[in-house]
Amino acid sequence: MANKTFYITTPIYYPSAKLHIGHAYCTTIADATARFKRLAGYDVFFLTGSDEHGQKIQQAAEKEGVTPIEYVDKIVAGFQALWKRLHISNDDFLRTSEPRHHRVVQEFFRRAKAKGDVYKGEYTGLYCTPCESYWTELQLDENGCCPDCHRPVEQVSEEAYFFKLSNYADRLLAHIEANPEFIQPVSRRNEMISFIKQGLDDLCISRTSFDWGIPVPDDEKHVIYVWFDALTNYVTAAGFFDDPEKFKKFWPADVHLVGKEIVRFHSIIWPAILMSLELPLPKQIYGHGWLIVDGDKMSKSKGNVVDPNLLIDEFGADAIRYFLLREIALGQDGNFSRDALIGRINADLANDLGNLLHRTLNMIGKFQDGVIEAATTKSAVDEDLIAHAGELVRDYSDAMEKMELSRAIKLLWAFIGRANKYIDETAPWALAKDAAKKSELATVMYNLAESLRVISVLVSPFMPETVPKIWAQLGMAQDFASVRLEDVKTWGGVPAGQHIGEAEQLFPRIEVEKEAPAPKEKPEKQKAAPKQEKKAEPAENGVITIDEFKKTELRVAEVTAAERIPKTDKLMKLTLSLGDETREVVSGIADAYTAEELVGKHVVLVANLKPAKLRGVISHGMVLAASDGEKLKLIETDMPAGSVVR
């Protein structure tokens, strides 16, 4: 059976630095996409790896008194262990130090040379002798010295091979212009077009100042430039030499997923090399944005590098994957913060998904002795739920095909919200009290179980560890590995008469109190007073700037449920729908409103408030109310839930 094929790659990572959450972000996007494609029936080849050569690695190894390969072996083992923990389903892991790769790089060099695209010349650059590194004018420190050791640099020349990149500028431009999908997103495409239009210089593709690299064929005092070496990994792993059948099947790659700063190497140098070799170009280069930590770029010197292993230890792999994929729209920069992560775990995973599963299983256990009975009736509410599931499968597939992962997740969570609402609308506890409503009750329970089946399948690219657990709790006999997207295109896949499995809590809520800075920290903070003064620029007479105001995210929310918090005067727990998500918020309005009065109101929510625990309930935001000191009235609007208030 000849399947459709899909070849996706991540960049190969440098073993010079420890992998951080930004690297995990890139690999998780590729993994979720690969998993979706497998689900959709594609024959997938998903590649990641390590980029092991170069002067920096050689120097780092020397510093530790080990050989370069000993040095990288240890670090690369750490990469592989991390990918395993994060459930990365790569089909191959390419190390540029492997012989299979050396052969291909040397062959590429030979062929480009035979074509007349490689020539010997002189490389002139600013060289720091103690660091054995070349720098460009722009990289030097403020005194015009080496940015690493701050000693003077000198202009030196060395013999080097060059690749005639300039030969390919016109063909490249024509290709980019004729193929709008080739570079994505559009902003990166435009950048590349203007870069090429400024003219391309030939590229120096060999060095003689170190030897940890792949030797130039027949001229072994040169090693091949790391980017020429690294980019070629994509064809090595596709079987260029070792497996021509495989190469025919998977090359050209469908997507090279890369960070925005290396789009240039992938969409200019790499295609030019391939053109020189007369090989087809990859179909797409997708440049994703950067993960920023608490509003700041991650870097070792700032000490804000987030270690994915520690996060997995604390929250589990699926919660991290979910957060990264949900929170950041592909192509844009996105912020990582612990608070936001905990907020998502509590609201989306523990509350929305966890509760749906828990409530459903609980009711099937209680009302139907744990058996999912056949659905024999159909009300308008049932039809609405089923129609929503159909639309979901269609829209979700469309989003995933376009790699709009965050949109796909939002669609899925809107359906989870719909299914939770279905429970409230059908009130199964009332049906269970009425013997004449037995069939309706069975239908509701069936539809909920079936909704969870659909959700499991669609959530599987994002949360591969969780899904088999939901599957087992639903009592599904089918091996999840054999499930395909086709299986959720029709309603009714849960076999009637099936016994549910044992209920288990998927995502326990995380107590935020522990995370919030304790009051005792205050004196510490005061010690750092000068720094704080700088930050807290605002308020002359309490005036704030428009930018300060814009930090507050105000959204319209619909109150879907309300209940008084026992043993408190005023506190009410509100369940709010923001259209695509559900939140719980604690509000001091119980002496102004009854629970019944609140349900259905469209109120204004401060949506990006740090979660806080009030009388044992975590509040994910605050609703706005007006008060004259006596009366209290919620700010209401007739705009739909989810609308932004500006």
User: Interface residues with ligand MSP (CB under 6 A)?
Assistant: 11-14, 22-23, 25-26, 51, 230-231, 233, 258-259, 261-262, 290-291, 298
How far apart are CB 626 and ligand MSP at their closest, in Å?
42
Please provide the DSSP assignment of 249-302 as one string. Answer: HHPSPSEEEEEGGGHHIIIIIHHHHHHHTT-PPPS-EEEE--EEETTEE--TTT
Task: Between 247 and 265, name the residue whose CB sits nearer to ligand MSP.
Answer: 265
Decide: 132 and 55 in contact? Cβ < 8 Å: yes
How far apart are CB 72 and ligand MSP at their closest, in Å?
12
Distance CA 158, CA 224 (A): 14
Task: Between 258 and 347, name the residue whose CB sits nearer to ligand MSP.
Answer: 258
Distance CA 424, CA 46 (A): 43
Distance CA 502, CA 110 (A): 62
Task: Between 112 and 231, name the residue whose CB sits nearer to ligand MSP.
Answer: 231
How far apart are CB 333 and ligand MSP at their closest, in Å?
8
Task: Between 330 and 342, name the residue whose CB sits nearer to ligand MSP.
Answer: 330
Task: Between 250 and 593, name the residue whose CB sits nearer to ligand MSP.
Answer: 250
Task: Between 22 and 239, name the residue whose CB sits nearer to ligand MSP.
Answer: 22
How far apart are CB 584 and ligand MSP at their closest, in Å?
31
- Measured from the Cβ of residue 301, the count of other Cβ atoms closer than 10 Å reads 6
How far apart are CB 291 and ligand MSP at their closest, in Å?
4
Task: Between 233 and 351, name the residue whose CB sits nearer to ligand MSP.
Answer: 233
**Does the N-terminal peptide bond of residue 185 adopt cis geometry, omega within 30 degrees of 0?**
yes
User: Can you read off the two tokens belonging to residue 391?
Assistant: 């639309």
State which amino acid sits at residue 345.
I
State which amino acid sits at residue 290.
W
Q: In 430-553, at which residue ranges do the beta strands (DSSP E only) sit?
A: 498-499
Task: Between 274 and 559, name the residue whose CB sits nearer to ligand MSP.
Answer: 274
Contacts of 311 (CB under 8 A, 6+ apart): 21, 320, 341
Q: How far is CA 209 from CA 55, 119, 156, in A?
A: 8, 19, 11
Residue nearest to ligand MSP (CB): 259
Say whether 222 sits in a helix, a strand or coil: strand
How far apart are CB 25 and ligand MSP at their closest, in Å?
5
Task: Between 6 and 14, name the residue whose CB sits nearer to ligand MSP.
Answer: 14
Distance linking the first and last C-alpha atoms of the chain: 55
Task: Between 21 and 176, name the residue whose CB sits nearer to ligand MSP.
Answer: 21
Decide: 332 and 186 in contact? Cβ < 8 Å: no
How far apart are CB 22 and ligand MSP at their closest, in Å?
2
Say whether 220 sits in a helix, a strand or coil: strand
Distance CA 50, CA 73 (A): 10
Task: Between 293 and 452, name the residue whose CB sits nearer to ligand MSP.
Answer: 293
How far apart are CB 298 and ligand MSP at their closest, in Å?
5
Say whether 640 sits in a helix, a strand or coil: coil
Task: Between 224 and 494, name the residue whose CB sits nearer to ligand MSP.
Answer: 224
Distance CA 271, CA 234 (A): 12
Instruction: Identify which of 111, 104, 146, 324 has the alpha carbon closest to the alpha carbon of residue 235.
Output: 104
How far apart are CB 363 and ligand MSP at their closest, in Å?
43
User: Can you read off the two tokens belonging to residue 95?
Assistant: 């190390």
How far apart are CB 60 and ligand MSP at their closest, in Å?
14
To 10 degrees, the CA torsion angle through 564, 566, 567, 568? -30
The residues pairing with 256 across neighbouring beta strands, listed in sequence order, are: 9, 285
Distance CA 173, CA 197 (A): 8
How far apart are CB 470 and ligand MSP at their closest, in Å?
30
How far apart are CB 290 and ligand MSP at their closest, in Å?
4
How far apart are CB 35 and ligand MSP at their closest, in Å?
20
Distance CA 571, CA 590 (A): 6
Task: Between 69 and 599, name the residue whose CB sits nearer to ligand MSP.
Answer: 69
Half-sphere exposure of 199 (CA within 13 A, CB side): 1
How far apart are CB 14 and ligand MSP at their closest, in Å?
4
Task: Between 258 and 320, name the residue whose CB sits nearer to ligand MSP.
Answer: 258
Residue 614, phi then psi, degrees to nearest 5: -125, 120
Tokens 């959450």 — which residue? 21
The residues pairing with 372 across neighbouring beta strands, listed in sequence order, are: 498
